[in-house]
Amino acid sequence: MITLNINGRDVQVDADPTTPILWALRDNLNMTGTKFGCGAALCGACTVHLNGEATRSCVMPISAAVGQKITTIEAMENDKVGKAVQDAWVKHDVPQCGYCQSGQVMSATALLRVKTNPTDADIDAAMSGNICRCGTYQRIRAAIKDASKTLA
């Protein structure tokens, strides 16, 4: 058994230490908000926070997360910055198919924690690893700017 701190709680995971965080969340803990996209850390659908930093959970083994804080999309509703981002997502009708949105929200939240008033270049850099097949990138940028204003 491996102990992980997920969304502020210590939980026991019965999995091989090389198991990616994504699969421990989805298969062992039934936390399905974090999505599988590519399995190679290229699309961002699996983004979670590891000690506050946006991290691709599909390639990060659970052994590397022991003693660290993992935050998932499930915790964003109770997080000031995460809630502001989610509210802006709804206001700007960002989701279309919705599949990539948990990863997008997690990356946007991580950005706004370090850059409270991001420029377009800041947003592009922070979100560059998140792919939206529906192409809602302009809405994503508008929602991030709106969330930033809400938090100011």
Residue 96: predicted pLDDT: 87
**pLDDT on residue 98:** 86
Domain boundaries, the chain: 2-73, 75-151
Instruction: Report how far residue 114's alpha carbon sits from residue 122's, in angstroms, rounded to the nearest whole number.
Output: 10
What is the radius of gyration, based on Cα positions, of the chain? 15
Q: Alpha-carbon distance 63 to 152, whole Å?
A: 37
Question: pLDDT category, 140, cuts 50, 70, 90?
Answer: very high
pLDDT at 72 over 90: yes
- Residue 94 and residue 88: Cα distance in Å, rounded? 8
Number of residues written out for the chain: 152
Summarize pLDDT for 119-131 with one digit per residue, the tens. 999 999 999 999 9
Rounded-to-10 torsion of CA 87, 88, 90, 96: -140
Query: Thinking of the domain 2-73, which architecture would CATH place it in?
Result: Roll (3.10)
Which long-range CB contacts under 8 A does 57-60 form with residues at least 24 apart?
Answer: 57/20, 57/21, 57/22, 57/25, 58/20, 58/22, 59/20, 60/20, 60/21
Q: What is the tens place of the pLDDT at every residue in 6-28? A: 999 999 999 999 999 999 999 99
The rounded percent of the chain whose pLDDT value lies above 70 is 100
Q: Which CATH architecture has domain 75-151?
A: Orthogonal Bundle (1.10)
Q: Does the pTM of the predicted model rise above 0.75?
A: yes
